[in-house]
Amino acid sequence: MSDTPLLKVSDLIVEFPTRNGVLRPVDRVGFEVRAGEILGLVGESGAGKSMCGSAIIGLIDRPGRISGGEIHLDGERIDNLPEERMRRIRGKKIAMVFQDPLTSLNPLMTVGQQLIQTIRTHLALSQNDARAKAIALLEEVGIPAAATRIDAYPHQFSGGMRQRVVISLALAAEPELIIADEPTTALDVSVQAQIMALLKRLCRERGTAVILITHDMGVIAETTDRVAVLYAGRIAEIGPTRNVLSAPSHPYTVGLMASTPSTTGSLQTLSQIPGSMPNLRAIPKGCAFNQRCTKAISACFNDIPVLEPVNGSEVACWLYDPAYKQIEKEISGASE
């Protein structure tokens, strides 16, 4: 895995102007992804995960806009490119796998027609060569009898097979980065495992980077190399998956892990994070998690915390701010 990031997102801000003010579903988010790496974006619904993915690939619906920050792919800034230039990058360098394969496939075209069209749009191949490549892609993602099934329509495939077809479409132009937005939510558990294993294998074999967007901590644990925990449009914690899941530092990450069933089979009482994700129209001042946090201190209600290094990860929490830790130490010393 290269040390040079393939994708670098810096202080990304996404805004939607409304009659009642400006909504900010993504607020100063930054992270990097390297070739051959799988980065997970995890959090509850409304955390800003999918909006980050849409911003990277340039699919934010108007009047939404990127109002701040920068996105660099392979050293080139892409967040301010003209639409025609971005259209050439989309599919060729960045591809996306959406949650529902039925919305990604044209029901009036065979899967072969869709694959061949995608391949010939981005690669200089003849019709016959494009068809041969399409069959090879279907075989690579595990479609049985690919040479025959290539002429079938989407409704003639099961949900799991349709998602495999969508992945083959994403791979058609040999992209450097795949954004997978909840790719297994509508699938059975056994099929979910197959799709995740497929993404992981393709990532390793092709050196393709993957951003995996999910709310499932189990999928994060099994699939990703690093994970960013998002809350109300901000990163609460980011670091190697093993570090973040085995020793979570942010109270929100701790709450997510405590509400996730154990895979060891042992009986346990699951905890629940009180309250719910704040409405974008009413993000609290300071740390957005302060109203649900059992460890909130005065600073949490006044200022937004910045990411600080903690145990090999980075955490945006006032409990780990050096100034706060010094004050806590002085108070502790005085009480003795």
**For residues 98-124, average pLDDT:** 89
Mean pLDDT over 166-170 rounds to 89
Assigned superfamily of 1-84+214-260+284-336: P-loop containing nucleotide triphosphate hydrolases (3.40.50.300)
Please compute the mean of the pLDDT values over residues 314-329 and round it to a whole number.
Answer: 79
The predicted pLDDT at position 268 comes to 65
pLDDT confidence bin for 201, thresholds 50/70/90: confident
User: For position 191, what pLDDT does the model report?
Assistant: 79
Measured over the CA atoms of residue 156, residue 162, residue 165 and residue 170, the dihedral's sign is positive
Residue 264 tokens read as: 């060891």
Q: What is the pLDDT of residue 1?
A: 57
pLDDT at 156 over 90: yes
Of 26-35, 77-86, 146-155, 190-199, least confident by mean pLDDT is 190-199
Question: Is residue 325 a contact partner of residue 294, using CB atoms and an 8 Å limit?
Answer: no
Q: Each residue of 42-72: pLDDT tens digit? A: 999 999 999 999 999 999 988 999 999 999 9
In this prediction, residues 107-118 reach a mean pLDDT of 94
Beta strands 65-73 and 38-42 are unpaired
pLDDT score for 57: 94
Closest Cα partner for 122 from 181, 170, 183, 76?
170
d(CA 183, CA 196) in angstroms, rounded, equals: 9
Domain boundaries, the chain: 1-84+214-260+284-336
Q: Identify the DSSP state of 221.
A: H
pLDDT surpassing 80 at residue 265: no
Confidence label for 187 from pLDDT (cuts 50, 70 and 90) = confident
Tally of CA atoms within 13 A in the half-sphere of 314 that contains its CB: 14
The whole-number pLDDT of residue 171 equals 87
Amino acid 2: pLDDT: 59
Neighbouring CB atoms inside 10 A of 23's CB total 16
Residue 326 has pLDDT above 70, yes or no: no
Region 25-42: what's the mean pLDDT?
96
Query: Each residue of 243-253: pLDDT tens digit?
Result: 999 999 999 99
Phi, psi for 130 (deg, rounded to 5): -65, -40
The pLDDT of residue 321 is above 90 = no
Q: Write down the pLDDT at residue 91.
A: 82
Lowest mean pLDDT among 17-26, 151-160, 321-330: 321-330
Nearest to 173 by CA among 147, 209, 137, 197: 137
Q: What is the mean pLDDT of residues 262-279?
A: 76
Non-local (6+) Cβ contacts of 64 within 8 A are 14, 15, 16
Residue 271 has pLDDT above 60, yes or no: yes
